[in-house]
Amino acid sequence: MISIKEDIIPYLKGEKFSNGIDFTINEKFEDNRRIDLIKKLSVNKKIIHIGCVDHIPLIKEKLSNNTWLHSLITEVADKVVGVDISQEGIDYIKKEVGVTNVVCADITTDDIPELKDEKWDYMILGEIIEHVDNPIQFLNSILEKYRGIVNEIYITAPNIMVRNRFDHMINTSSELINTDHRFWFTPYTLAKVMTLAGYNDIKLDFADRVTLNKGELVSRKLKKMSNQTAEYPFFYFNSVVGIAKF
């Protein structure tokens, strides 16, 4: 996890402008799955999980291979409430999956009784922001409504700068994308959106490493044998993570 350098913050806030600033990330990051990072974050914490439904056709498959995020959070959290705007999805997971710690509501406008009279450690938005029509307005509405109620926001989004996306584009002349996505994010643009929404002290992390080639696999194995931590540049990861306090 890294903090945004001080000289970049005026550009994020729009106080300075450059038509070609270098947003350099020299640090390397550990090989972590996004769902494992979120599960670790949630241990013994009180969590609001936004977009808890996921895609209905994928839920049972993810349950069978233990990758449905809401169930993973529920396993380890002290308390969790899932919030989603899809009534169909909420009804489905209550009836077909037997999950009851969920509610159908708009987190930006609705008063949600399940979230009142409680202090929450994290609000988690896992792969949600790219589905939202106006992400700055969305995140600002959350900030204004839940400041003083939630300690930190934890956002993950697809990283357009991951190596394998460029490989696919070059090899196929096509864009491989979820058809409900409105945006792609880079580390800078996610930090920009969060900053303009009113969040400060933003930190970045990365998760879901790409598949390694044979040479990289050998290098990683040698590092493990010598008790070294295998770390990778940010463009080896499919997800960029933004963390900030309310």
- Residue 228 pLDDT more than 90? no
CA atoms within 13 A on the CB side of 65: 6
| Radius of gyration, alpha carbons of the chain | 19
Classify 203 as helix, strand or coil: strand
Spatial distance between the Cα atoms of 52 and 45, rounded to a whole number of angstroms: 17
212 confidence band (pLDDT: 50, 70, 90): confident
Domain 33-160+183-210+238-245 class? Answer: alpha beta
Per-residue model confidence (pLDDT) at position 152: 97
Strand 102-104 and strand 237-245: pairing?
Answer: unpaired
- Residue 190 pLDDT more than 90? yes
230 confidence band (pLDDT: 50, 70, 90): confident
- Residue 58 pLDDT more than 90? no
Q: Are the CB atoms for 29 and 232 separated by under 8 Å? A: yes
